[in-house]
Amino acid sequence: MRPLTPVSRRARIVLGLSFFVLFVAVWSVATFGGFVRPIFLATPIRMIDEGWRLMTRFGFSYDIAITVWRVFGGFVMATVVAVPIGILMGAYKPIEAFFEPFVSFARYLPASAFIPLLILWAGIGEMQKLLVIFIGAVFQIILMVAVAVGSTRRDLVEAAYTLGTGDGGVVRHVLLPHAAPQIAEILRLVLGWAWTYVIVAELIGSSAGIGHMIVDSQALLNTGQIIFGIIVIGLIGLISDFAFKALNRSMFPWSLA
């Protein structure tokens, strides 16, 4: 191994799978070997059995669908609001000076702290869950997009002006193409954060969803179901992450250079 030296695709897959194999092996030794009591940590086989029961007897697929809907619904709401504001902040310094103090302040506020207020304002229905994700994601996206747009090389902007491009043309033809791959990567990262927000939102005042199932399983001390729910979240997140990466590569091939 040498610093920053890339590895082949095959080696990356093998190394990535090796960690999961090692993780399951350690988990199996800890549980089957009696080092951890089942009430604190279920065995891999017990987890699979409990997951099968959830899917076939308790309609867990509906909970998964509800949680996925909440994640992507709140994330899309945040994206629609945040990306245009972030682009304007990055492109125009007066707009940045107007918004940045509040955005920098708001992004440190935990989304979970708003849950009591959101329950008062929106009840305990779907809108409350969506707003938790929206609040958790929107300010992060705004600031990160503004940084991405504002980091465009100044010589490219000056060259565009020299060639007769106006202010709007600079934004459309220089700033946006330069920042678009970074914006897509920002959205991919923030989508992962949205999953943490939705589980928090589902822990309170929810009758369906993965978080709701985890709370019910905790009351029953069923660690197998809890672990299965956590793994399902990780698998969905991994699939969406790979899909986002593939979409980014297809949309912005110039960023691969």
Find the mean pLDDT for residues 131-137. 90
Q: pLDDT value at position 257? A: 47
pTM above 0.85, yes or no: no
Quick one: residue 4, left, alpha or beta (phi over 0 = left, psi -120 to 50 = alpha)?
A: left
Question: Among residues of the chain, what percentage have pLDDT more than 90?
Answer: 23
Reported for 51-57, long-range contacts at CB under 8 A and 24+ positions apart, including other chains, are 51/224, 51/225, 51/228, 51/231, 51/232, 54/213, 54/225, 54/228
Question: What is the topology classification, in CATH, of domain 55-256?
Answer: MetI-like fold (1.10.3720)
pLDDT per residue as tens digits for the range 188-210 = 889 888 888 888 888 776 778 88
pLDDT per residue as tens digits for the range 232-246 = 988 888 888 888 888
